[in-house]
Amino acid sequence: MSNAMDIPIETGLDPVDRRIVAATQAGLPLVARPYHAIAEELGLSPADVMHRMQRLLDAGAIRRIGAVPNHYALGWTANGMSVWDVPDEHVAEAGQMVGALEFVSHCYRRPRHLPDWPYNLFAMVHGRDREEVADKLTRIAAVLGNWDCGHDVLFSSKILKKTGLRIAG
């Protein structure tokens, strides 16, 4: 497997967990009893698979078991990385507020690099076109009020590499 990452056991995943992660990276089987199918593939009991996956879910290693929509197929072709300069003492609260907006898919605090890069809050915004993204930025700015000490949006113009992160089984 190219670009595989060997995950050390001391991070909390035992070898059986790792096999389950590797077996489900491509997805959950679309059959009536998907956890039984995984169990059969790995030679485990269904109860063990479900118990381990529940534990990974409870620990946050699995965020949730769900669907990933294809933004492009849904017509969400404008993806802007919006970046905000928010006073440090308010950034945690600001992040919660911005992250809760339904059109923000990811919201992170990252370090500034002064003087060139004053921004410390990143929010990924999706829209059907750039105008829609711009409207959404206006809404973020309204939420932030005078905590918005400056912002910008960076549209991606080209994907140069996208291999993703893979975990070795």
Kindly state the number of chain residues that form the binding site for other proteins, as judged by CB under 8 A. 79
Q: Please identify, using beta-carbon distances, which residue of 114 and 142 lies nearer to other proteins.
A: 114
Q: Choose one: 3-11, 132-140, 141-149; the region binding other proteins (CB under 8 A).
A: 3-11
Among 11, 43, 142, 146, binds other proteins (CB under 8 A): 11
Among 13, 86, 137, 144, binds other proteins (CB under 8 A): 13
* Axis crossing angle, helix 15-24 with helix 46-58, rounded to the nearest 10: 90
Closest separation in Å from C-beta 101 to other proteins: 8
Taking residues 100 to 139 in sequence order and writing x for each that binds other proteins by CB under 8 A, - otherwise, the string is: x-xxxxxxxxxx-x--xx--------x-------------
Closest separation in Å from C-beta 19 to other proteins: 13
Taking residues 30 to 69 in sequence order and writing x for each that binds other proteins by CB under 8 A, - otherwise, the string is: xxxxxxx---------x---x--xx-xx-xxxxxxxxxxx
Place of tokens 């309204």: 142
Can you tell me the distance from the alpha carbon of 71 to that of 125, in angstroms, rounded to the nearest whole number?
A: 11
Helix (H, G, I), strand (E, B) or coil at 116: coil
Amino acid identity of 49? V
Convert 44-83 to b/e letters by CB count within 10 Å (16 or more is b).
beeeebeebbeebeeeeebeeeeeeeeeeeeebebbbebb
